[in-house]
Amino acid sequence: MTVTEAKDIGSKLIQLLTQQKFLYRQLKELTQKQTSLVDGNDPEMLLKILAGRQRLIDRLSLIDLELRPIRADWQKVSASLPAAQREEAKGLIDSVQAILGEIIARDTADTQTLHTQQKKVAAEIQGAVTGKRVNQAYVQASSTPSASRYFDATSE
C-alpha cells in the first residue's frame, strides 16, 4: 500500500468514525429521553423516541458496512496509516466505545425498569381478575333463592 493510498484510507476512516461518533451522541441523547419516558406515562412519545433511535441505528449500520473492510484488515491498515491519522482514529474509536457503553448501560437499566413495571401490571390485572371472580361468586350465591330453615308457613 502506497503512502497516498494509506492517507486516503486514513481520511475515509476518520470521516466514517467522525460520522459514527456524531450519530452515537445523538443516539445517547435519545436514550436519555427514553429513560425519562420509561418512568413516565407517555407511551406515544416513547414510541417516537424509539422510532428516532431506529433511524439512527439504520444510519449506523450503513457506516458499519463501509467500515467492515477496514476492520477486517485492521492490523495492516493501522500499521500503514500516518501516525497522526492512527492516533486520531484511535481517539475516535475510544470515544465511540465509551458512548456505546453508556447507551448499553442505560438501555439495560430501562429494560429492567420496563420488566418490573410489566410484572406490577400483570399482578394488578391478576388481582382484578381474582377480585371479579370473588364478586361474581358472591353475587351468584346471594341472588340464588334458598329455602329458609326458619320459614313461618303458618302465619299467612
pLDDT at 18 over 70: yes
Whole-number pLDDT of residue 128: 73
pLDDT on residue 132:
65
C-alpha cell of 76? 495492516
- Contact yes or no for 113/105 (Cβ under 8 A): no
Task: Say which residue, 114 or 94, is predicted with more confidence.
Answer: 94
For 10, other C-beta atoms within 10 Å of its C-beta total 21
pLDDT at 25 over 90: yes
Q: How far apart are CA 85 and CA 51, in angstroms?
A: 35
**The amino acid at 72:** A
Residues 78 and 86 sit within 8 Å (Cβ to Cβ): yes
